[in-house]
Amino acid sequence: MTPEIQKELISLAIESRQIAYAPYSNFLVGAALLTVDGSIYTGCNVENTSYGLCICAERTAICKAVSEGHQEFQAIAVAANPFATPCGACRQFIVEFGKQIEVIAVDANNPEHVKNWVIEELIPENFKF
């Protein structure tokens, strides 16, 4: 992935968090997912009064991409403030589609604070059926 594409993913993830529905935690998260063909799908977190029904930004973006016929991904950027990495559920959700997907985490209020991993580094002993 080029630095320009990473910058675009970060920008879209930061932008996407602005439409998050997080009235309970006020923790806005945005994501931007890059498919192998270069398409980008965004997502935001959507909370529910029954917390178990909440969906994270990462899973929203992946579900949007899958519902449009994509199942191969290169990278996902996640923007939050304060800085945060994907939760355990999202890590398992991401690794379902490949162990080498790049994960980019960024502080939405300080876009220079960026960390990159390959998903397998974040969930090395992932569940496989």
Where in the sequence numbering do the catalytic residues fall?
Answer: 58
Q: Tokens 């799908």 map to which residue? A: 41
Please answer whether residues 41 and 35 qualify as being in contact, where contact means their C-beta atoms are separated by less than 8 angstroms. yes
Question: DSSP labels for the chain?
Answer: --HHHHHHHHHHHHHHGGG-B-TTT---EEEEEEETTS-EEEEE-B--SSGGG-B-HHHHHHHHHHHTT---EEEEEEEESS--PPPHHHHHHHHTT-TT-EEEEEETTEEEEEEEEEHHHHSTT----
Give 118's strand partners.
Answer: 102
